[in-house]
Amino acid sequence: MEFENLVKLIQAVSESELTRFSYEENGVAISMKKDKKQKLVTINNVAENAPASLPLLPAGESLGAAQEENGCKGNIVKSPLVGTFYSAPDPESEPFVKAGDHVSKGQVLGIVEAMKLMNEIESEYEGVIKQVLVSNGDVIEYGQPLFVIDGK
User: Of 65 and 135, which is predicted with more confidence?
Assistant: 135
* Residues 79/98, Cβ–Cβ less than 8 Å: no
Does some domain include residue 87? yes
Report if pTM > 0.85: no
**Which stretch of 7-11, 45-49, 112-116, 140-144 has the lowest confidence by average pLDDT?**
45-49
User: Model confidence over 66-108: pLDDT tens digits?
Assistant: 344 334 468 999 999 999 999 999 889 999 999 999 999 999 9
144 with 96, same domain: the answer is yes
Q: What is the pLDDT of residue 52?
A: 44
Domain coverage including residue 15: 3-33
Q: How far apart are CA 59 and CA 89, in angstroms?
A: 34
Beta strands (DSSP E) in the chain are 20-25, 28-33, 75-78, 83-86, 102-103, 108-114, 117-122, 127-132, 139-140, 145-151
Q: Domain with 72 in it: what CATH number?
A: 2.40.50.100
Does some domain include residue 97? yes
Q: What is the pLDDT of residue 120?
A: 92
Count of the separate structural domains present in the chain: 2
Does some domain include residue 58? no
Q: What is the pLDDT of residue 31?
A: 74
Does some domain include residue 12? yes
129 with 73, same domain: the answer is yes
Helices (H) and strands (E) in the chain, counts: 3, 10
